[in-house]
Structure 1
């Protein structure tokens, strides 16, 4: 599995900058909370696999300067890429977390389905029947197509 180590390091830098700026406070908004949670999971997963000091340079530079040097970024990318090649389960875990962060950034709320035969679809869906089959859908409740989370 190939993971985008540059994207991962970018998110880690964002995590460190956000952490430094919020001084113990979480960002407002449902989607910011989801992004923050994803960034925390990404940081924790990488720290767990590579060791607690593995991200120290990123944390220190981002916290102090709001960015990191190209050398620090390149070294982090190389270490993460090597670990993801060596440990496929780590690569899969990171890929899953990245996907969750990207969904949160796009403002797509996750869906929950309950009841017999329920299916939840978060995002676009295409329903069709082939070979004499039948396609049907029932929507119970409201539908939000704005992409914005609405509270009841």
Structure 2
């Protein structure tokens, strides 16, 4: 039995461990070749694992995917010598090779008469043995598993859609992605913000507003006491909140998680948009900061609802 196919299978298995083989080659699935190559590699490893020629063949195959002709020739010689000395080893190799599909003479193509694996008229042997491209594997996987492919594509599209939507929500502050226009008044980037708290007075607030110059949701993070309720209101860094949903001017909690999002910039009146959701309920409010620890909450139509103080 010629050892060219045996050496070729060792090369394929060594290269397969560091490269992805194709799914199908001329009708022969790579799984058939892979299992046979793995079994053959184990048999050779047990018999000749420390042989320098075999170790050189495996090492070059793992590094470059194709050993030098000298390394291959030396390995084939070592395999043939071992098979001549040990009939059981030779029989084991023959049994594994015989599990492959058909074999044919490659003398016309290579000038050397040796067995090879034939598939659809193409002989898999010599330097071409085990070279199967990764794109071929992906393409054939899609062809052979259309339902799985469609599901995977649908999941990718869904993930992309929700990713873009989440990005848009975060940039828009939960208010439909609308950017609040700067009032253009004042100096040094400051805007005039309505205090909303009696006497018609106005307080100059920085464009960031809120806690120590923080803007948007960062300014709301913390514990608050409302003028319209004895229950505390909590605004968490992760967007979870409690006590901020109001219905007809009074707090309403139907149970379940409540989330709050806030625009990153104030509108022309210096008010941030606050969106409170407790499924299936959702409401929008306007929040104007007088100081870092005091703010007034308005309805979406601009009517004052209550005031809050940080504690």
TM bracket (short chain): 0.5 to 0.7
Higher helix share: 1
Structure 1 match to 2:278: none
Q: Which runs of 5+ in 2 are unaligned?
A: 103-116, 120-311
Q: CA deviation at 1:27?
A: 6.0
Q: Contact conserved, 2:49 with 2:55, CA < 8 A, in 1?
A: no
Partner of 1:68: 67
Q: Distance in 2 between matches of 1:57 and 1:47?
A: 13
RMSD of aligned Cα (Å)? 2.5
Q: Work out whether 1:51 is the aligned partner of 2:14.
A: no
What are the within-5 Å matches in structure 2 for residues 1-152 of structure 1? 3-22=1-20, 28=23, 31-52=29-50, 55-102=54-101
1:51-81 deviation per Cα after TM superposition (whole angstroms, max 9, x unaligned)? 2565322222112212111111111011100
The size of the alignment, in residue pairs, is: 102
- State the alpha-carbon separation in 2 of the partners of residues 10 and 17 from structure 1: 11
Contact 2:36 / 2:99 at 8 angstroms: preserved in 1?
yes
Greater strand percent: which structure?
Answer: 2
Asked whether the 8 Å contact 1:39–1:101 carries over to 2, the reply is: no
Q: State the TM-score, normalized to the length of structure 2.
A: 0.30
User: Alpha-carbon deviation of 1:20?
Assistant: 1.6
TM norm structure 1: 0.58
| 1:85-135 Cα deviation digits (max 9, x unpaired) | 0011111110010111336x668xxxxxxxxxxxxxxxxxxxxxxxxxxxx
Cα 1:82–1:33 change in 2 (3 A) is same
CA distance in 2, matches of 1:37, 1:99: 13
Q: Give distance in 1, aligned partners of 2:56 and 2:83.
A: 20
The gaps in structure 1 that reach 5 residues or longer are 108-152
Q: Which runs of 4+ in 1 moved over 6 A?
A: none
Q: Which has the higher contact order (CA 8 A, sep 6+)?
A: 1
